Chain A
């Protein structure tokens, strides 16, 4: 069932054109890197603030700037990632490394969404010591995104 679906995706016109392309594939690849640069570049200062750095900086103000950048990065990485996956879905889908990467992505995105849904997110003092709920979310986020980058990079080699 899944194999049939992936085979259909792999033999689709779009995926075939992508496999045969000279420059489109590397450009999409670059877009994927741009997406994760936006994610990590914005999420790292946000997470560090949640962990306890820069306590005099209003975390709500910081979030207003950094969260939209991170979310746009996620959208870009997701669309380019689906395109890259479509070139060789049968190669990637059954690799444990790929499955681990996807699981971690789901985990870190859920981690961020859940944090934003807590009442603490809107009611915590905007300056000073962060609550432990924030610290935990920040640590999960940093280690998660670093793991996503490492597993993603290693997919190119194994």
Chain B
């Protein structure tokens, strides 16, 4: 007969294990403070569940995470505006891992116009 206590401990361990590590969702994986990354779009993978731009930043490859469809639309950004070949400025938080060239956009500047993906984070 297994004791009730053993079951509770097992369940707690399972819950603890399932809440570690973050990479995409939220901002826990990013460093505080904004960075600006200016680059040319090499490829764009837009739409659910994540919008991702691969940028050529003076020869270095950066990955920029933009919004889901509703967030991009709210900001006034269309997929066509982020087509390969476009120069974009990504303003946002970069990965807390300094070796990872990945930035999550709070706002995007294209052709001198600013698009606010996270107006509440301004």
Size bracket of the B interface: 10 to 19
**How does the 8 Å CB contact mask read for A132-158 relative to B, with 1 for contact and 0 for none?**
000000000000001001100110111
* Interface residues in chain A, defined as those with a beta carbon under 8 Å from any beta carbon in chain B: 18-23, 25, 29, 48, 51-53, 55, 84, 87-88, 146, 149-150, 153-154, 156-158
Bound complex: CA A19 to CA B47 (Å): 5
The SS class assigned to the B binding surface is loop
Given the complex, which residues of B lie within 8 Å of A149, measured CB to CB? 18
Kindly provide the distance from the CB of B119 to the nearest chain A CB, expressed in whole angstroms: 18
Instruction: Tell me, in angstroms, the Cα distance from A53 to B10 when the chains sit together.
Output: 14
CB distance from A124 to the nearest CB of B (A): 17
State which of B20-28, B34-42, B86-94 sits at the interface with chain A.
B20-28
A48 touches B47 (CB 8 A): no
User: How far apart sit A149 and B73, CA to CA, in the bound complex (Å)?
Assistant: 32
CB-CB < 8 A to A19: which residues of B? Answer: 46-48, 69
Interface residue from B7, B21, B68, B69 paired with A154 (Cβ < 8 Å): B21
Q: Mark out the residues of chain B between 14 and 65 whose CB falls within 8 Å of any chain A CB in the assembled complex.
A: 14, 17-18, 21-25, 46-49
